[in-house]
C-alpha cells in the first residue's frame, strides 16, 4: 500500500493474526527508531456465509489464504511473527524461591510448579517464563528465603507444529510465535504503566486482559463476540445473517451515533463478564486493592457506533476505543481509512511491532 524503501525490505516484518473468521496481516518496517507502516491486508469469512471457517487444522488451505493476502497487498517481507489463540494458551503467575541471580536456570522449578496447573503434561507443552520481581533477588551476603513471582506462558507442542507447517507451506520464515495478549499489550498499551483492561471483541470470542507494567495479571476468555451482535440484528430486523452482518458494518461507519437498543441488549452479557473481571481484579489484590485505571476496547466490533459511551455508562469508568496506530508512523492522508480498520488489526500490528527491540518502542 505505502511501499517500503529498498533498504527496509530485508528488515520489514509481517504480523500475522489467524482467527476463525479471518486472517489479518500487517507489514511494518523500522524507520529512524520508530516503526513505519508498509502495508496491510486481510481475508474474512463473513458471519453466516456458506463458507467453512478458517482453521489451523487445514494447513494447505490456510497457507493459500496467507499467500493470497501477501500477493494482493504487495508485501515484500519474508519473515513473520504470528499469534497463538488466547483460548489455547496457558497463562499464570506463580511464586518460586528466589534464584541467586538472573543467570540461574529456573526452568526445573518452574516446570515443577506449573506442571500442577497445566492442562497437559509438561512434556507436551512449550513453556516460556520470566521473573517479574527482579528487584527481589537476593543481594550479596543477604540471608533468608525470598520468593519471586514468575510469569508463565505455555502452549501445546502439537499446536505450535501446526503453525510451523502453515508457514512452511506459505514459504514465510516464522521467527516467533506469541500470544494475542502480548501483541495487544504492545500495540495498545506500550510503555503506559497504568493498570489497564483490554477487551478484545473477536468474531466468536472476546478476550479480557488486565495488565500493569507489561505484565498480564488476569486473562479471561468468553464465548461471545461480534457474531452475537449480528445475531441480535438479524432477529430484531428480520434479516438473514449476511444482511445483518452488512448492517452491522454500516453501523461501524455511523460516527457519533448512539448504540441501537438491539446491539446494547446483545452486548449486555459481555458487559457482565467485564464487570466480573473488574471484581476479580480487586479480590485477587485484596492486600493492596488497586482498581483498573481505564478500559480499552478493540477487535472487529470495537468500532460500533456508541460502544465506548455505552460501556462507560454501564461500567462507570473511562472506556476508550484503542488506537493501535498511535505508536506507528503512518501517512496522515490515510488516517481515515486506517482508523476504520485499526481495531480489527490490533493483534497483527502488535506482532509486527517486534521489528524493533522492546527497549526502543
* Residue 160 predicted with pLDDT over 60: yes
Residue 120 lies in a domain: yes
Q: Would you state the pLDDT for residue 262?
A: 75
The domain boundary residue, chosen from 107, 136, 156 = 156
Do 314 and 212 reside in the same domain of the chain?
yes
Q: Would you state the pLDDT for residue 80?
A: 96
Do 316 and 226 reside in the same domain of the chain?
yes
What pLDDT digit, counting tens, does each position of 11-26 carry? Answer: 899 999 998 778 999 9
Q: Would you state the pLDDT for residue 168?
A: 97
* Residue 257 predicted with pLDDT over 50: yes
Do 151 and 206 reside in the same domain of the chain?
no
* Residue 28 predicted with pLDDT over 90: yes
Do 137 and 231 reside in the same domain of the chain?
no
Length of the chain: 361
Do 142 and 229 reside in the same domain of the chain?
no
Do 131 and 204 reside in the same domain of the chain?
no
Report the number of distinct structural domains present in the chain. 2
Mean pLDDT of 270-297: 81
Quick check: 281 and 196 in contact, CB under 8 A?
Answer: no
Residues 6+ apart with CB under 8 A from 1: 37, 38, 39, 40, 73, 74
Q: Would you state the pLDDT for residue 247?
A: 77
Do 301 and 227 reside in the same domain of the chain?
yes
Do 234 and 121 reside in the same domain of the chain?
no
Query: Using 50, 70 and 90 to split pLDDT, how confident is the model at 33?
Result: confident
* Residue 360 predicted with pLDDT over 90: no
* Residue 10 predicted with pLDDT over 80: no
Q: Would you state the pLDDT for residue 130?
A: 87
The domain boundary residue, chosen from 288, 303, 322 = 322
Give me the domain span that covers residue 99.
90-156
Residue 236 lies in a domain: yes
Mean pLDDT check: name the lowest of 108-117, 246-255, 317-326, 352-361: 246-255
Q: Would you state the pLDDT for residue 254?
A: 58
Residue 340 lies in a domain: no
Residue 335 lies in a domain: no
HSE (side-chain half, CA atoms, 13 Å) at 209? 27
Q: Would you state the pLDDT for residue 252?
A: 61
Do 201 and 296 reside in the same domain of the chain?
yes
User: Any idea what the CATH number is for the domain that residue 285 is in?
Assistant: 3.30.420.40
* Residue 333 predicted with pLDDT over 80: yes
Q: Would you state the pLDDT for residue 3?
A: 39
* Coil, helix or strand at residue 136: helix
Q: Which segments of the chain does DSSP mark as H helices, in order?
A: 6-9, 59-73, 107-114, 157-169, 180-188, 226-237, 241-252, 261-266, 268-284, 307-315, 335-342, 346-352
The domain boundary residue, chosen from 103, 132, 156 = 156
* Residue 106 predicted with pLDDT over 70: yes
Query: Using 50, 70 and 90 to split pLDDT, how confident is the model at 281?
Result: confident
Residue 112 lies in a domain: yes
Q: Would you state the pLDDT for residue 284?
A: 65
Task: Name the more confident of 315 and 199.
Answer: 199
Q: Would you state the pLDDT for residue 90?
A: 92
Do 250 and 294 reside in the same domain of the chain?
yes
Residue 125 lies in a domain: yes
User: Any idea what the CATH number is for the domain that residue 140 is in?
Assistant: 3.30.1490.300
Give the pairing of strands 215-222 and 206-212. Answer: antiparallel
Do 211 and 297 reside in the same domain of the chain?
yes
Residue 299 lies in a domain: yes
Q: Would you state the pLDDT for residue 9?
A: 47
* Residue 50 predicted with pLDDT over 60: no
Residue 230 lies in a domain: yes
Query: Using 50, 70 and 90 to split pLDDT, how confident is the model at 1?
Result: very low
Do 248 and 306 reside in the same domain of the chain?
yes
Amino acid at each position: 500500500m505505502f511501499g517500503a524503501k529498498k533498504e527496509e525490505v530485508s528488515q520489514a516484518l509481517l504480523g500475522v493474526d489467524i482467527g476463525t473468521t479471518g486472517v489479518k496481516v500487517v507489514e511494518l518496517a523500522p524507520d529512524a527508531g520508530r516503526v513505519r507502516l508498509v502495508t496491510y491486508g486481510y481475508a474474512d469469512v463473513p458471519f453466516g456465509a456458506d463458507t467453512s471457517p478458517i482453521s489451523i487444522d487445514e494447513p494447505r488451505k490456510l497457507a493459500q489464504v496467507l499467500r493470497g493476502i501477501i500477493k494482493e497487498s504487495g508485501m515484500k517481507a519474508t519473515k513473520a511473527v504470528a499469534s497463538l489463540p488466547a483460548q489455547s494458551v496457558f497463562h499464570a503467575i506463580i511464586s518460586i524461591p528466589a534464584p541467586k541471580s538472573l543467570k540461574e536456570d529456573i526452568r526445573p522449578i518452574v516446570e515443577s510448579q506449573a506442571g500442577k496447573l497445566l492442562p497437559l503434561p509438561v512434556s507436551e507443552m512449550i513453556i516460556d517464563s520470566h521473573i517479574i520481581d527482579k528487584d527481589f533477588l537476593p543481594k550479596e551476603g543477604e540471608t533468608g528465603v525470598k520468593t519471586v513471582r514468575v510469569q508463565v506462558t505455555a502452549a501445546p507442542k502439537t499446536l505450535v507444529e501446526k503453525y510451523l507447517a502453515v508457514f512452511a507451506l506459505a514459504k514465510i520464515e516464522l521467527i516467533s510465535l506469541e500470544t494475542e495478549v502480548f501483541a495487544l499489550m504492545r500495540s495498545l498499551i506500550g510503555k503506559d504503566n497504568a493498570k489497564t483492561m483490554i477487551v478484545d471483541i473477536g468474531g466468536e470470542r472476546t478476550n479480557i486482559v488486565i495488565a500493569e507494567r507489561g505484565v498480564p495479571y488476569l486473562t479471561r476468555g468468553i464465548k461471545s463476540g461480534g457474531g452475537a451482535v449480528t445475531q441480535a440484528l438479524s432477529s430484531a430486523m428480520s434479516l438473514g445473517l449476511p444482511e445483518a452482518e452488512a448492517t452491522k458494518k454500516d453501523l461501524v461507519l455511523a460516527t457519533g451515533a448512539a448504540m441501537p437498543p438491539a446491539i446494547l441488549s446483545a452486548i449486555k452479557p459481555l458487559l457482565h463478564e467485564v464487570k466480573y473481571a473488574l471484581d476479580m481484579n480487586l479480590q485477587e489484590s485484596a492486600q493492596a486493592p488497586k482498581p483498573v485505571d481505564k478500559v480499552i476496547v478493540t477487535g472487529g466490533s470495537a468500532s460500533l457506533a456508541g460502544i465506548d459511551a455505552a460501556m462507560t455508562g454501564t461500567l462507570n469508568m473511562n472506556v476508550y476505543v484503542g488506537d493501535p496506530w498511535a505508536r506507528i508512523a503512518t501517512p496522515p492522508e490515510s488516517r481515515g481509512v486506517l482508523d476504520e480498520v485499526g481495531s480489527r488489526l490490533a493483534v497483527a500490528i502488535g506482532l509486527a511491532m517486534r521489528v524493533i527491540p522492546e527497549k526502543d518502542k
